[in-house]
Amino acid sequence: LDGRATVITDAGAVDVATASDGSYGPHMSDVLDNWTAFVTWARESVRPSDGTPFSRESVRAPSPEPRQVFAIGLNYAEHAEETGMSTAGQEPAVFTKFPACITGPYGDIILPRGGNTDWEVELVVIVGQRAWRVSADAAWEFVAGVSVGQDLSERRLQMAADPPQFSLAKSFPRFGPIGPWLVTPDELPDRDDLHLSCRINGELVQEGSTRNLIYSVPDIIRRLSSVVPLNPGDVIFTGTPGGVGMARSPQRWLQEGDELTSEVRGVGQLCHRFTYA
Ligand code: ZN
């Protein structure tokens, strides 16, 4: 909240640095760098009835300055089909959203003029400890928690390159909202079966479940960490289900004034409004 690591309880917000006498925090990066010890402290020291009310304007990204942001393209069969692209490869298509695009769960996002801005609701995974060559069986142990993400994409810039480019077209300012908070996997009834949905002005445009991921969360972590050491706070966008605007007939893009609501059931909602201002 406002740049300070906070535990969200049933009652509200507990400031980590204050409650721990400075042992943890004050920033999320401090907490993520010491995640295992922090979680043990929080379980022992913070009760559900602790905390004070907070305003939604204070809520920022749960990993505000990740060292690395990974994203998986075409990780649901339905989405691959609608884009006419193949999933026959032996490895997932991995790209980055440049970390400067990471932002919080609420507020306004500026549409690039002359562009076609599309929506992609995704489950986001936030790494909780250094991960290097980890097995799929062990992979969830390296996860701090999950969040909702929007992989906002400007399709004109994406498709103007040949072959199409992903990273730049998906990295305009605030094109990587995540949140509203980090939910530890033990809080989820089934961490491998999470329901996602996306609405524009209340109209359902995307729906899916992470049980239909072509490459599961543990498999993604195994494959990424076989090449790149993962750091605490690193963010992984796991892919989007069907229903994006580019694949519609006629195609549909986000318009000025549109309100986009992105949800993972049991995790939370992002809510953004789009503007040219
Ligand atoms: Zn995506």
Q: pLDDT digit of tens for each residue in the chain (277 aa)?
A: 999 999 999 999 999 999 999 999 999 999 999 999 999 999 999 999 999 999 999 999 999 999 999 999 999 988 888 888 887 788 999 999 999 999 999 999 999 999 999 999 999 999 999 999 999 999 999 999 999 999 999 999 999 999 999 999 999 999 999 999 999 999 999 999 999 999 999 999 999 999 999 999 999 999 999 999 999 999 999 999 999 999 999 999 999 999 999 999 999 999 999 999 7
What is the length of the chain?
Answer: 277
Residue 13 phi/psi, 5-degree rounding, is: -120, 140
Sheet of 102-103: strands edge to edge? Answer: 93-95, 69-73, 235-237, 121-127, 143-150, 176-183, 102-103
The Å distance, Cα 29 to ligand 1 centre, comes to: 24
DSSP state letter for 111: P
Q: Is 104 left (phi over 0), alpha (psi -120 to 50) or beta?
A: beta
The Å distance, Cα 104 to ligand 1 centre, comes to: 17
What residues sit around ligand 1, an ion, with C-beta below 5 angstroms?
120, 151, 240
The Å distance, Cα 244 to ligand 1 centre, comes to: 10
The Å distance, Cα 135 to ligand 1 centre, comes to: 24
The Å distance, Cα 80 to ligand 1 centre, comes to: 11
